[in-house]
């Protein structure tokens, strides 16, 4: 819903809201927040609430550390796991300098700018994520272990699948927060789960992905479990992916999907650092259906990009390399820019490679370009990329060097 300040003020008064969380994200997509009382709401909207940016990853140093949070009323949501008597709400915020100038390292701003550039070109991209995660048991002291919650496999049912009640609670919590999951099931790994989402505009989709990860962690904790979104938590089991589905439409009514996809294929090595930001991300790529080569196919799940079969005639692009440790705001922004470059440059993708690359002969695969094979290689690709340097602040890029 799209609320105004007056709507938020009325809601807080009528719904007995006692606590307001102003949330934002560091450059890695980790959620942060400041809590205020209702009497501070007017000041939050008019002036913003200050915080020390020097303590936030990638935001800067102590020389210019004062930044302000100004809530986005359209993101107002009640936190269902908090008490109903004296409710708690959350709003995502814009980050601004003391003079009101927008903070250029705000990842939500970076995505908004990408969306605006695409819209100016008559291009609109909707996103839908398929996010995988593991549920692990806690020990007797409540600390996380690496013991999976169950030993079930792909799409198993109870009693093997012990996570179905947890997934159901996650889905109902999301619905209470205005987010509509599309499907959920047990994944291949023991204790591994997946929940998929309907298409939304880019900013809403990124907000939903971020909210989803928080909800999963809270519901897991409430069930005495630990949720893990790392790309490869168990060395001998399937890694967790965040497949990104994109639907491209245009004001001119033309089909720009192939050029958009070609742009992503052309820039994928340069942006992989932000789609797969951790060292363990590269233990997942190339194993158990996670792609290694830069190629595309119709329906084949061994490829980097898959064009799934659709009954309603709506085409979509499924990018299979990203993992849940990625910052969805930077991920979606870079994909939009890469696709736009493909459209503007009139790029055409290579012919579809409709073979199983996990079983293909070396004579075929050696001809294909590969995704970066390590975090270091991904960093080197980004460091040499004028494309990425044009789009992201230098300090944001450097933060991913770790």
Q: Identify the burial level of 361 via C-beta atoms within 10 angstroms of its C-beta, where 0-12 means exposed, 13-18 middle and 19 or more buried.
A: exposed
Sequence-separated contacts (24+) of 100-105 with Cβ below 8 Å? 103/53, 103/59, 103/67, 104/393, 105/27, 105/58, 105/59, 105/60, 105/393, 105/395, 105/396
**pLDDT value, residue 311:** 64
**pLDDT value, residue 61:** 66
Q: How many residues does the chain have?
A: 402
Largest Cα–Cα distance in the chain? 69
**Cα 374 from Cα 79, distance rounded (Å):** 38
CA distances, 186 to each of 129, 138, 237, 239 (Å): 16, 20, 14, 14
Let me know: does 320 contact 243? Beta carbons within 8 Å.
Answer: yes
Cross-strand partners of 78: 89
**Domains within the chain, CATH numbers bracketed:** 5-102 (3.10.20.70), 113-399 (3.30.590.10)
**pLDDT value, residue 84:** 81
**pLDDT value, residue 1:** 58
Which residues have CB under 8 Å from 39's CB, separation 6+?
A: none
Whether pTM > 0.85 for this model: the answer is yes
**Cα 393 from Cα 391, distance rounded (Å):** 7
Number of C-beta neighbours around residue 230 at 10 A: 17
Q: Of 126, 210, 209, 179, nearest to 1 (Cα)?
A: 179
**Cα 60 from Cα 80, distance rounded (Å):** 34
Query: 3-class SS at 378?
Result: helix
In the chain, which residues have pLDDT < 50? none
pLDDT tens column, 320-347: 999 999 999 999 999 999 999 999 999 9
Q: Of 170, 198, 158, nearest to 80 (Cα)?
A: 170
* Helix and strand counts by DSSP (H, E) for the chain: 12, 16
pLDDT tens column, 39-75: 999 999 999 999 999 999 889 765 568 999 999 999 9
């Amino acid at each position: 819903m799209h609320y105004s300040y007056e709507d938020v003020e009325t809601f807080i008064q009528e719904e007995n809201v006692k606590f307001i969380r102003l949330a934002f994200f560091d450059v890695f997509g980790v959620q942060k927040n400041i809590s205020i009382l209702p009497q501070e709401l007017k000041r939050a909207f008019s002036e913003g609430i200050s915080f020390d940016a020097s303590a936030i990853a990638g935001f800067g140093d102590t020389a210019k550390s004062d930044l302000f949070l100004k809530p986005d009323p359209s993101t107002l949501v009640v936190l269902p796991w908090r008490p109903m008597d004296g409710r708690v709400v959350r709003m995502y915020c814009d980050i601004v300098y003391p003079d009101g100038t927008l903070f250029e390292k705000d990842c939500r701003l970076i995505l908004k700018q990408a969306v605006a550039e695409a819209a100016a070109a008559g291009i609109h991209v909707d996103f839908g994520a398929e996010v995988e995660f593991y549920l692990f048991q806690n020990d007797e002291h409540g600390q996380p272990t690496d013991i999976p919650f169950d030993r079930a496999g792909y799409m198993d049912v109870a009693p093997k699948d012990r996570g179905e009640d947890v997934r159901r609670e996650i889905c109902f919590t999301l619905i209470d927060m205005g987010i509509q999951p599309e499907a959920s099931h047990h994944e291949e790994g023991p204790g591994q789960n997946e929940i998929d989402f309907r298409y939304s505009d880019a900013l809403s989709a990124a907000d939903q992905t971020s909210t989803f990860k928080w909800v999963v962690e809270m519901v897991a904790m409430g069930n005495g479990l630990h949720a893990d979104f790392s790309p490869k938590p168990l060395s001998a089991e399937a890694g967790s992916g965040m497949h990104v589905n994109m639907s491209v439409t245009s004001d001119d009514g033309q089909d720009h999907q192939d050029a958009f996809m070609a742009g992503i294929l052309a820039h994928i090595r340069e942006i992989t650092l932000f789609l797969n930001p951790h060292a363990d991300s590269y233990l997942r790529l190339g194993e158990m259906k996670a792609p290694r080569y830069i190629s595309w196919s119709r329906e084949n799940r061994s490829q980097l990009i898959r064009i799934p079969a659709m009954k309603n005639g709506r085409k979509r692009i499924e990018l299979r390399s990203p993992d849940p440790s990625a910052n969805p705001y930077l991920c979606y922004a870079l994909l939009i820019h890469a696709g736009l470059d493909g459209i503007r440059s009139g790029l055409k993708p290579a012919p579809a490679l409709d073979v199983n690359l996990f079983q293909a002969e070396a004579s075929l695969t050696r001809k294909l370009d590969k995704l970066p094979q390590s975090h270091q290689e991904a960093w080197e690709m980004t460091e040499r990329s004028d494309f990425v340097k044009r789009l992201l602040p230098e300090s944001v890029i450097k933060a991913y060097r770790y």
